[in-house]
Amino acid sequence: MRSLIDILDLSVEELDGLIQTALAIIDDPARFSQCCRGKQLAALFFEPSTRTRLSFESAMLALGGQVLSVTGAGGSSVSKGESIADTAKVVSCYADIIAMRHPQEGAALVAAENASIPVINAGDGGHCHPTQTLADLLTIYREKGRFTGLTVGICGDLKYGRTVHSLIGAMSRYEGTRFVLISPPELAVPDYVRAALRESGIPFSETASLEESLPGLDLLYMTRIQRERFDDLALYEALKDSYVLNEEKMKAAKADMCVLHPLPRVNEISVAVDKDPRACYFRQAFNGKIMRMALILKLLSEKEERRDSRRYVHHLHCKNARCISRTEQELPQAFYAVPGEGIFRCRYCDQEG
């Protein structure tokens, strides 16, 4: 049994396999419409994310499977103080595969290690959201026909943007990728991302100007800038419009540039841009469903366990208040050494110990 917690759990070859399956599904959905007959997906959404939940449920139903749905901690035994481990063990008695969204970082990993069925991380706090990255990758492949030699602009909140970090990690594995990181200095990528890029020798530049960056981009990945992120609201008001993509700015972009967005959008892309053929974000939502179908098929067919070749030390304590290791019953602390960095990170939330 395999689970998917972090996008990097999948090798480049496995990713290619998922994309080939996805293309086959798009080509002939009927061929796959009974693949999961008699199987049940438990969609455990302990925080609201309607889009992601519907995408998973729709994917399972399109494979001929069935769905058990849990939304909000309120309607959950979690509210009676049950541990993630127990929830995972019990749901394993009912369903064949779990998709879990949880506000605590590392929750999906704890579930995977206690469930007897595959677990898909549908978002664990600010930590990982691998199926969003699968949607991004299928969209890039379908729109550009390749993953290599692309200049990828990423705009908005690069500091807290979970999907941004996963996308950088995933695209860094392809030949000739260059990143243009577009954000106000307050929301630039964290140091460890910058360090990882330098270490693996991926060319990247950082800028505050969307307008100046546009002409050079093959892809533009837009994200939302949340006012809550700013101590200085005047500053927020001053710069927010410069990160809004509109028809005017689109004129400066290449004719074949792709605009992606994880959605939901608030106002960072003008509705007027939707009819521009370069606007890919709604096709991206469709691709998200298809990749989830491919992933469910893959995990239900996997026999082997999830690999974990890391060595752990247990003398440190995680400082991340949102880490599952803070609340989960009788869960031992565990940290791994980061090669080169000479530091240790929590195995659950990957925060420095």
Cα-Cα-Cα-Cα dihedral sign, residues 336, 341, 343, 348: negative
Q: Which is nearer to a copy of itself, 82 or 212 (CB)?
A: 82
> Rule CB under 8 A: is residue 212 a binding residue for a copy of itself?
no
Using CB under 8 A as the binding rule, the residues of this chain from 98 to 137 that contact a copy of itself are none
> Rule CB under 8 A: is residue 35 a binding residue for a copy of itself?
no
Q: Which of 257, 208, 216, 22 is nearest to 131 (CA)?
A: 22
CB-side neighbour CA atoms (13 Å) of 129: 24
The CA distance from 81 to 279, in Å, is 44
The CA distance from 351 to 325, in Å, is 12
Count of residues near a copy of itself by CB under 8 A: 56
> Rule CB under 8 A: is residue 332 a binding residue for a copy of itself?
no
Binding mask 311-330 for a copy of itself (x = CB under 8 A): ------------------xx
Identified binder of a copy of itself from the candidate list 20, 79, 205, 301, rule CB under 8 A: 79
Using CB under 8 A as the binding rule, the residues of this chain from 279 to 308 that contact a copy of itself are 282, 285-286, 288-289
Report the amino acid identity of residue 10: L
Q: Which is nearer to a copy of itself, 208 or 244 (CB)?
A: 244
- 250, 276 Cβ separation under 8 angstroms: yes
The CA distance from 108 to 46, in Å, is 11
Locus of tokens 């970082």: 105
The DSSP result for 304-342, as a single string, is SPPP-----B-S-----TTBGGGTSTTPPP-EEEETTTT
Identified binder of a copy of itself from the candidate list 71, 207, 242, 327, rule CB under 8 A: 71
> Rule CB under 8 A: is residue 36 a binding residue for a copy of itself?
no
Q: Is 10 left (phi over 0), alpha (psi -120 to 50) or beta?
A: beta
Q: Which is nearer to a copy of itself, 6 or 96 (CB)?
A: 96
Q: Considering the complex, what minimum distance in angstroms separates the CB of residue 337 from a copy of itself?
A: 27
Q: Considering the complex, what minimum distance in angstroms separates the CB of residue 185 from a copy of itself?
A: 25
Which residues of the shown chain bind a copy of itself in the complex (CB under 8 A)?
A: 30, 33, 38, 40, 42, 45, 48-51, 54-55, 57-58, 61-62, 66, 68-72, 74-83, 85-86, 89-91, 93-95, 263-267, 270-272, 274, 282, 285-286, 288-289, 329-330
